[in-house]
Each structure stands twice: as C-alpha cells, then as structure tokens.
Structure 1
Amino acid sequence: MAAWAALRRRYWASLPARLRLLRVATVSLAVALALLLALAGLAATSNWDTVAGRDATRTTSAANLDLALNDMDAQAANILLSSGDAGKGRLATPYEKAVGFYGGARRAIGHDLRTLAVAAQGDRSDEHTVESLTDDFAEYQELIGRALENDGRTGGKPAALADYRKATDLLQNHLLPGARKLVDSNNSAFNTRYAHARSTLATQLAVAVVLGVLLLVSLGVLQWYLARRFRRILNPGVLAATVCAVLAVLLGVQALSATAEHLRGARRDAFDSVVALSRARAIAYDANADESRYLLDPERRDRYAQAFLAKSQELYGLKGATLTTYDVGLATTWQSYGSDHGDLRFTGEFRRELDNITFAGERAAAETTVETYAMYQRDDRKIRALVGQGKEREAVAFCMGWEAGTSNAHFGAWMTALDKVTDINRQHFTASVQAGRSAVGDLLPGALGALVSAAALTALGLRPRLAEFR
C-alpha cells in the first residue's frame, strides 16, 4: 500500500505528474501505431514481391510446361501424319508448320524445366517431381527422335509409329501427371500464402484501428484536461497533434484496407481465372493432339476418341454426353446460359472462368472463347465422319490444313479467343499488384510522418504548461 501511494503521488497526485503521464501515453500510442504501420508496410511489400515474383511465376511456368508438353507431342504426331513415305506424298505446309512448332515447344519445355528447378529449391516434393520430369523428358525426346529418324526411311512408318506410341504413353503416364502436380502444388502454395497474408492484414487493420482510437482518445483527454485546468479553450500544439493523428489513422487504415483489397483482386478476381484458363489451354492442346493420334494410329482409335471426349468434358462438362450427343448438348446448354448466367447444366474450366467474370470486356471474350470452341468441336465430328467413310487422306488434310474453314484454322481462332480473355485477367493481375504496391508506398509514409509530427507537437504543446511548474 505504501508503494502504491508513493507511485500515485509521483505519477498522478500532482498536476505536472498527470500532464507528463498523459504525454507519455499519447507519445507511446503514436510510436506503437507508427511501428505497427511500418512493419505492416514491410510485410505488404514482401508479400507483393512474393506474389508477383514467385507464386504467380511458378504456377504459370508449371502450366506452360503442361501446355508445351502437349504441343510437342501433338506436333510430333502431325509430323508423322504429314511427312508421307520418306517425303513422298508429303503435305508441305502442315509438315513445315509442325516442324517449326515442334522445335518451339521443345525449347519452351527446356526453359520451363529450368525455371521450375530453381523455384522448387527447398521443397523436397517439388524438387523430386522436377528431377523426374527432367529424366522422363530426356527419355521422351530420345523416343521421338527415334520415331522421326525411322519415319525418314522408306517404309519406316510402322517402326516410327511404334516408337511414337512409347513416347506418347510416357507423356500421358508420367510427364503430364508430373506437370499437373506442379501446377496444383504451386497454386496451392500461392493460395495458402494468400490466405495467411489476408488474415495478417485483417489483424493489423484491427489493431491499427484500436491504437488509432486510443491515440485520439488520449489527445482528446489531454485537450480537455488542459482546457479545464488552465482556463484555455484549446491548446494549439495538442490541436495540431490531433489533426496529424486523425490524418495518420485515416491514411494507415486506407493503406492496409486497400492492400488487402488489391491482394484479393490479384488472387481471386484475376489469377484464379488465369489458372483456369491456363489449364484450359493445356487441355485444349492435349485434345487437339488426340485428334492427330486418332488419325495416325488406327489400332488405338477408340482409345484416343474417348481421351478426346474426356478432355472435352474437362473444358465444358456435360453429364452423360458422348461424342455423338456432345454438340447438341453444348448448343442447348449454351443457349440456356445465354438466357440465365446462373444456369448450372455444364461444368469444367470454362464454367470456372464464367463464374468469375469481373473485368470490363471479360464476359464477351469468355463467351467468344466458348463459341469458337463449339466450332472446333463440330470440326472434330467432321474428321471422324470422313474417317468413317474411308476418306482418311481428306480427314488428315482437313485436320491439319491452315486454310480458312479447316480444323487448324478454327483451333487457332479458339486459342486466340482464349488468349484474349487470359490477357485481360493477366493485365488486371499486374494492375492489382502495382496498385497494391502504390497503396503501401504512397500512403504509409504520409501516415508515419503524421504520427511523428503528432508525437512532437504533443511534446511541444505541453512544454509551456510544464514550464510553469519549474
């Protein structure tokens, strides 16, 4: 009790003691809020660096690897389809384009594997996946190289086909599952970090509001106490400190809330769509490869037809659909969707994107993508009908031709439409990252400066009053 009484006399019993205590409380709250905002700003900057420089890059590199693997295999099949017998009867334009695309896909795979190897460092599971992919890709290239070498010899097509079968089986059973595992792993890691960052920002915002309110209450009590004890209406220094504190709280809260909102926009509004559309593009190339495999390998036609249907269902899922009924189901459900965007009779990656429409021009681009996809699907039925009529050369020419109205031309239009809607989301992802960085860089320095000013003005405002008691 004696100690408590001594403390009370020292810190509260006298007027100067009470003023010093209020000064300490006010300055301490200003310093605490400044430290919180500074640490939050550093954390936010680190988050944006991670989101833009690591998480998004890793996920898109894995998706690009998936796509390039499918493209390389499709082009290998197209080379074998269009090469003729050791060059005799070669389809010149399709062959030249296939050779060019094959080389481009192979270079892209090498680049993506190097990027993912660096990104996987420290994650044992991803490191093992990338190592396995690198080894399997070396074996795959050897098999394709042997197939192309055999295809260059007169009568070498059967041997080339046998090697290609081994290569495409390796692709389907090992390379593609590994690439898709990396997509899922990196996207999941991005989601986890996003959820943690949003939770941290929410906590920081709540604490900043509490500290801001306490700071303003402390300044209000100080102003009231000075007016009551010294018969002055307002203390200029404390009034100026209050204005600075209000400004600091507003800027700090705005910076943290804007950062959280831009982070949500980057991940949920933009990047969720980028992931869905990147998956869709990889699946599209795999489905397109199934058409070439179907024409190249008569013994496996049923297998490749079902694989094409399965990938079509991943893109635009229709319950119970077969290749015979798919087009009608697509047309019917798409018409219903046009009347009611909540119509849920189809699923898949396109549905995932259509349910996440956010930006100007995105819906029109997404709808164009589905419409060009429907045209490509109708071309697939024409290819199979020509094969059924025994017109295999006509089927190959229609499948691999680049003239207007051919399947490849329509596939190109579909990919162009898909790229357009993907680019809209990528641009907004980049814009959200930039806006998030700006919210930190433009607002928080002002808030910190205002808090330093508030602390200094509080001390200066009280100095004349305390001097009266010396």
Structure 2
Amino acid sequence: MTAPVAAPAASSTRAISRPTAPASGSAPLAATRPDTAPVRRRSSVPTRLRAATTVVVALVAGLLAALVVGVAAARDNLHTIGGRTAPQAATAADLYYALADMDAQVANVLLIGHDEQIGNKQSALRQLRQDRAAVTAALQTLLDRGLDTAGEDTARTLLADLATYDALTAQARYADDQVLERPVARPPANATSFYLSATALMHQDLLPAADRLGRTAEAGLAGSADDGRSTARVAALAVVAFGAAAVLALLVVQVRITGRFRRVFSPFLVAATVLVAVLTGLGSSLLLDHGDRVRDAKAEAFDPFAALARTRAVASDANADESRYLMLPDRAGYYRAQFAEKAAQLVPMSTEPGLAQRLAAFRRDDEALVAAVNSGRRDTAVGMATNVGRGNLAFEFYDYQSVLDSTAQTHHDDFTDRIDAGRDALAGWRWAPPLVLGVGVLLVLAGVRPRLREYR
C-alpha cells in the first residue's frame, strides 16, 4: 500500500509580495518626510527675522511721525500765541488805557482853562493828541489782525461812538475857548454840558466796548495756551508709546538673534536701541516742556502784564475823577465816591515792588487836595492836580503811573522772552528726528543683514 502524497506547502503556491511603485499622483512615502523638516525650519527663520525687522522699522517710522507732527504743532502754537493772540490782547489793553486817559486829559484841559501859570495846559493837550492817535492805531491793529464777527461789530460800533465823543469834546473845548476871562476850574455851562455828555459816552459805551474786546482777546490767548498744552501732551504720549514699542521690539530682535545664532549682542542693534531710547526721552520731554512753558508764560508773565495794564486805566480814571471833582462842584460828592472806589481797587493791584508806596503817596496828596478845596484855596488845588512838580499830586500820580508802565513792560518783555525761548528750543528739531532715526534704521539693517546672509 502506497503512502499518500503530502500536500504541497502553502508557501509554494502563494505569490511572493513585492513592493509596488506608488501610483501616479499619490502622496510621497512617509519615509521621505523627515528629510524636509529641517528645510522648512531653515526657511522660516529668515522670514521671521525679516518680519521682526519690518515691525521695528514701522515703529521707528511711527515715532518719527509723532515727533514731526508734535514739534510742528508746538511751533504753530508758538506762532499763534506770539504773533496773533498775545499781541491782540496787548493791543486791546492799550486801547482801554488810551481811552481812559484821553477822557482824563480832556478834563484837565477844561479844568486849567487859560491860566498857564496854574497848570500845564499844553502838556495836557499834547497827551490828549497822543492818546487819540493811540486809540486809532489800536483799533486799526485789532481789525487788521482779525476779529470774529462779534469783535468786528464791537470795533465798528466803538469807532462810531468815538466819532461822537470827538465831536462832543471838540464842542466843549470850543465853548471854553470862547470865554477868555473865566475863573480857574469854572468852564462855561455849555462847555460843561458837552463834556458831561462826552464822559458819559466814554464810561457807558466806549470803555465797556474796549473791555469786551480785551476780555475776548485774553480768552483767545488762554484758549491758544490750553490747546498748545493739550496737543503737546498728546504728542508726547504718542512719542513715548511708539518709542517704547520700538525699543521693546529691538530688544526682542536682539534676544532672538543671540539665542538662535549663538552670537553676542550686535553693536549695531545696541546703538540703534540707544538712539531710539534717547530720542524718545528727549522728544517727549521737549513736548511736555513746551506745554508747561506756554502755561507758565501766560500765567507768570502775560497775566500780570494784563492786570497792570488794566490798573493803568483805573488809575488814570481815578485821577480824572479828581479833575472832575474840582471842575464840577455840584457833583463833588459823586466824584469823591468814584475816586474812593477806584483807589480801593488800586490797592490789591499795586503789590509789585515800588508800587504800594507810590500809591500811598498819591492818595496822601489827594487828601491834601481835598483839604485845599475845603479851605477855599481852589486855585492851589487845581495847580496841585495839573502841575507836574515835585510835591504836587500830579507829580505823585505821574510817578505812580511811570512805575506801573515800567513794571507792566517788564512782564511783557518776560513773556516775549519766554516765547522766543520756546522757539529756540524747537529750532533744531526740524531736522534732528529724521536724521537720528534714519541713522537708527540703517543701524538696524546693518545688524540684521549678516544673519540673513547666512541663509543664502
């Protein structure tokens, strides 16, 4: 019996499997992927470095824009204050004083009459002409420099009222000149009537209109100063924001280059960082200083000038009340009360060195004038009020006014010097930011370029 034949081994009848080529368009084998990862990482490093450099340059450009705009705004603000709003306010103050003094000089002319031995009528006439010319010049200057609609209406109304005032005072003087023989301090009734109408027009219309122009001009100056300070602070904040961001971005670039390339800090990037940081500090300080400078110039220099300019007008009107007191005995009580009120106003306005004692001397001589009138020595009182000789009331008033003028001018000069100093502080900043930051950008590129070159 034959043995059964063994079945063939399974392995002999099965096809031996072989790797087949991937079909067209199929994904590459996973075995090839590890070879591409380093390439991708290498290509992403310069891309990130270029992006970081672009961010740095953009922030530096923002810093430059903030500095340029801020400095330009500060320069324009100084031009507005020094060239328009402050001169407008000063001119309005001069107008107010010239009007008040003009009315005082008309009173002096009528008070003296025709007796040159008692008072200096020619001096009063000369001062009257100067005041009238100053009024015309001040009004013309205000109109030429530009007023708003309300200001222009006020100025034109003032001009019309001024023509009426001129006519009334001319009639008063003409009526007085027709009576050659008349007592001192006793102008004819028609001359007195014309003058009373003129001085009423001055105090009820002309001086209030000039006061409105002055206060509007001072408000314009205050607005310019506030706007300049606010704009400077916003610009300084923008400078700090862009500058700090640029410095931070530069530091990040430095740290990444150091860690990635195993390098020490790049001297070019260090220099660029220092330049940006220094310019940020100096620029923000400059803009903040501008805001403080403008505020202090107005508060510490122009405001005292404006107050003293108003004091001059009050003092001149108080002195005119003395002449009216002598010239109009039926209104003596009214004008004494007016003088007392204005003299009381002068006390807190006369705290500057040298003013208080001169005001005291002026008021002391006023008491002597009243005593002379009460004792029947009216001619002597008129001479005291109108003859500028040492020991007379007129001299003490002139001395007081002279110190007022010089002190006011000192404050005005201080204001002008502060504005000029502000312009000088900004002078170099027209070209410094573009130059310094341009160098900074070149330094950044010089610091980054060697690292990018390693990937070529």
TM-score by length of 1: 0.84
After TM superposition, the structure 1 = structure 2 runs for residues 251-262 of structure 1, keeping only pairs within 5 Å, are: 251-262=282-293
State the shift of 1:12 in Å.
12
- Whole-angstrom distance in 2 between the partners of 1:460 and 1:153: 94
Instruction: Trace 1:188-337 onto structure 2 (pairs within 5 A).
Output: 188-316=219-347
Q: What amino acid is aligned across from residue 171 of structure 2 in structure 1?
A: R
Alpha carbons 1:58, 1:116 under 8 Å: kept: yes
**Structure label with greater radius of gyration:** 2
Q: Which residue of 2 aligns with 1:464?
A: 450
Number of residue pairs matched by the alignment: 412
User: 8 Å contact 2:89–2:217 — kept in the other structure?
Assistant: yes
Partner Cα distance (1:230, 1:11) in 2: 14
- In the alignment, the residues of structure 2 paired with residue 469 and residue 462 of structure 1 have an alpha-carbon distance, to the nearest angstrom, of 12
Match of 1:134 in 2: 159
CA distance in 1, matches of 2:431, 2:364: 59
Percentage of matched positions with identical amino acids: 32
Q: How far is 1:157 from its partner?
A: 2.2
Q: Is the 8 A contact 1:245 1:454 kept in 2?
A: yes
Match of 1:43 in 2: 73
- AA of the residue aligned to 1:287: A
Equivalent position to 2:143, from 117, 136, 139 = 117
CA contact (8 A) 1:26 1:219 kept: yes
Whole-angstrom distance in 2 between the partners of 1:92 and 1:394: 8
- Whole-Å separation in 1 of the counterparts to 2:175 and 2:94: 30
Query: How far does residue 145 in structure 1 lie from its aligned partner after superposition?
Result: 0.7
In structure 2, what is the equivalent of residue 101 of structure 1? 127
Question: Are the equivalent residues in 2 in contact too, given 1:401–1:408 (CA < 8 A)?
Answer: yes
Summarize the Cα distance change of 1:11–1:425 in structure 2 as closer, same or farther, 3 Å threshold: farther
User: Is 1:408 aligned to 2:438, yes or no?
Assistant: no
Alignment of 1:317-396 (within 5 A): 348-350=348-350, 354=351, 366-396=352-382
Shift in Å, 1:382: 1.3
SS in 1 for 2:376: coil
Alpha-carbon distance in structure 1 between the residues aligned to 2:157 and 2:217 = 17
1:81-115 superposed Cα distances (whole Å, 9 cap, x missing partner): 1123xxxx334751111011011001001101111
1:72 counterpart = 2:102 = yes
Q: 2:42, 2:91 → 1: CA distance?
A: 64
Larger CA deviation: 258-267 vs 371-380: 258-267
Separation in 2 of the partners of 1:304 and 1:92?
22
Superposition deviation, residue 76 in structure 1: 0.8
CA–CA distance in 2 between the matches of 1:249 and 1:290? 60
User: After the TM superposition, which of the residue ranges 28-37 and 92-101 deviates more from structure 2?
Assistant: 92-101
- Contact 1:255-1:443 at 8 Å conserved across structures: no
Shift of 1:120: 4.1
Match in the other structure for 1:25: 55
Residue type of the alignment partner of 1:286? D
Distance 1:237 1:117, change over 3 A: same
Deviation at 1:266, TM superposition (A): 1.3
Residue 265 of structure 2: SS of its match in structure 1? coil
Q: Over residues 232-278 of structure 1, what are the superposed CA-to-partner deviations in whole Å (9 max), with x where a residue is unaligned?
A: 11213212211221231132123212212221221111111111111
| Cα deviation, residue 197, structure 1 | 1.5
Q: Deviations over 1:201-252 (max 9, x none)?
A: 1121122112211111111111111111111112132122112212311321
**CA–CA distance in structure 1, aligned partners of residues 268 and 132 of structure 2:** 70
Give the SS at the match of 2:389: coil
Instruction: Tell me the secondary structure at the aligned position of residue 90 of structure 1.
Output: coil
Pair 1:120–1:446, CA change in 2 (3 A): closer
Deviation at 1:401, TM superposition (A): 1.3
Deviation sequence 1:171-220 (CA, Å, 0-9, x none): 01000011111111111121122112211211211221122111111111
Whichever residue aligns with residue 143 of structure 1, its letter is: L
Which residue of structure 2 lines up, in the alignment, with residue 452 of structure 1? 438
CA shift digits 1:141-181 (9 cap, x unpaired): 01111111111112672211111111000001000011111
User: Which ranges of structure 2 fall in alignment gaps of 5 or more residues?
Assistant: 1-39
Moved more, 269-278 or 415-424: 415-424
Deviations 1:367-419 (A, max 9, x none): 31111011101111111121122211111011111111111111121122222
Aligned-pair CA distance for 1:28: 0.8
Conserved 8 A contact 2:362-2:393: yes
Distance 2:338 2:41 in 1: 81
Query: Which deviates further from its counterpart, 19-28 or 102-111?
Result: 19-28
Considering only aligned residues, what root-mean-square deviation do their CA atoms show, in Å? 2.0
Residues 314 and 349 of structure 1 are in contact (CA less than 8 Å); yes or no, is this contact kept in structure 2?
yes
373 and 13 in structure 1: CA distance in 2 versus 1, 3 angstrom threshold = farther
Supply the distance in 1 between the matched residues of 2:249 and 2:218 (Cα, whole angstroms).
46
* 1:248 and 1:448 in contact (8 A); partners too: no
SS at match of 1:265: helix
Alpha-carbon deviations, 1:25-61, whole Å to 9, x = none? 1111111111111111111111111111111111111
Residue 314 of structure 1: CA displacement?
A: 2.2
TM-score (ref. length: structure 2): 0.86
Structure 1 equivalent of residue 425 of structure 2? 439
Counterpart Cα distance in 1 of 2:43 and 2:450: 20
